[in-house]
Chain A
């Protein structure tokens, strides 16, 4: 009993460290990537390649005064940034980086991650509501309607994968895809995926991840040319820092889930040397795609965003679900 508890504590500490480190250095990667796309150097002064930039930014943020504006709902105002970071970190506990590196392998891993992921919307709602700022309020309303709209197609698409795998255990889902690249869930009809529409599932899932993590072109919550800074307009210091890190931690979770559900987790494309490095490679390639998309596309509109979800993605994913169910039944 005590050993399990110790394991969990160690796992949580490692998860926090991993999440924080990733979040910090993804900011660096994002800034360097953006600079590269925009033909400018980016942060390159502090340390080699500007690698000391994230810790220095962190120190700067922590050294700043935490301003709580008058008239805000104090409890929610303080809770919101914590709530932005906490679910992301908790989700790391059950993510398998390889067949051995997993903090707590759960049979309902998928369910748990989505349960925590849906708390992200709460943090935006709290932040916007408690800030007593019209821009923040509008932003949080947008963010919540966006979170609701995109969770539905995301979950429906995940159900197709779960149906194919017959399990909600993330490790098991990966192990079923591990034979070769052709067995990955993204590719149809081979291995264990019965579904011709699996590439579309992947696409829907990826778009939903973009929207769920409030990334461009779906960053309507932040939308700084319209809503100044959206829900974190009133946040300074580490409150802002936590939102920022939370966003990147969520991106990591989203990319981890995409890797596990569709891209074969830690398995090697050619069946050689499976291991954590393959997982990380796929993970960071996906994140690079996120960054690439962000600095290429302009922002959509809120009605364009909701139309995309309710009128296109949800019907498509429902059809996908029925089709998959039919295929599983027939074959």
Chain B
């Protein structure tokens, strides 16, 4: 099964204590709902890097991977190796924590269904992540769009100019403190 395979590949990315953490979370799969509640009060339990296997029926994806910005390319390489296609890239502005989350969605063409979400959090003041256009050429527009909306700088992007916004746009409308 591709889910286990991918999960194992992801777990190899993280040092042992964190893979233990992800195993423990897998055990408490019944407590899935309460686990997601931590988003509501994230200042108490910020999520650590690692892999979580999610309930597909609830969330609509199988694997939820949180990585550091430095590890992003490694994680994307993992999904690329397993022949996932890129679905989308987007961001979420967690203004209370002073962080921006960049969310990468990947899925598969075959019937071995597995949706993977890779997230990384960066500082809201200086949001920089490496570009993945070298791995997925189709990430180009998605990254430009995310740059438009959140002001995230994709380091190494070949053509990071506004895509959907006007070419002279210096605002980022999806930031929570954006006022039109």
Direct contact of A and B (CB under 8 A): no
